[in-house]
Amino acid sequence: MIKFPIIRVITKLLIPYILLFAFYVQFHGDYGPGGGFQAGVIFASALILYGLVFGLDAIKRVAPPIVIEKLMAIGVLVYAGTGFATMMLGGNFLDYDVLEHSFNHKYLPGGQHLGIFLVEVGVGITVTSVMTMIFYAFASRSRFV
């Protein structure tokens, strides 16, 4: 844990902007460069920065390991569930055309957009949780092993 107050204050100021940028990359990923993997790494970097500055115990209070473990599975389920949903609707695995609908196009995205969005969200959740869990594993090791 870093005891320098300037670093702690600057970290508290930077983390919301890092998270905001991660959400921008996540939700803009199907229109341009970015997406689930990049957003997941950026989001995890905010958590890791918090852990480096405030200590491992502080980050484990913010994002408990049991929650991170569950998020790893949820992210994979969202990704795989999207693929299986497309198969159940008569298409191939991740064939987004079968997600096309004919109601409320003003507020609901079309099939391709919805499918890509769900896959990117699943990937983002998985990457964030895996990177955070890797940080937990390395940060909790003894220094004299």
pLDDT single digits (tens) 94-143: 888 887 765 555 666 677 788 888 889 999 999 999 999 999 999 988 76
Distances in Å between the alpha carbon of 103 and those of 25, 107, 108, 109?
A: 28, 9, 8, 10
pLDDT the model gives residue 34:
74
Question: Whole-prediction pTM value?
Answer: 0.86
Distances in Å between the alpha carbon of 124 and those of 11, 42, 63, 70, 79?
A: 23, 10, 16, 14, 10
pLDDT tens string 11-25: 999 999 999 999 999
pLDDT the model gives residue 117:
86
pLDDT tens string 33-89: 778 899 999 999 999 999 999 999 999 999 999 999 999 999 999 999 998 988 888
For the purposes of burial, counting CB atoms within 10 Å of the CB of 49, is it exposed (0-12), middle (13-18) or buried (19 or more)?
Answer: middle
Q: Is the CB of residue 50 less than 8 Å from the CB of residue 15?
A: yes
- Residues contacting residue 60 through CB under 8 Å, at least 6 positions apart: 136
Q: What is the DSSP letter of 98?
A: G
CA nearest to 119, candidates 80, 63, 61: 80
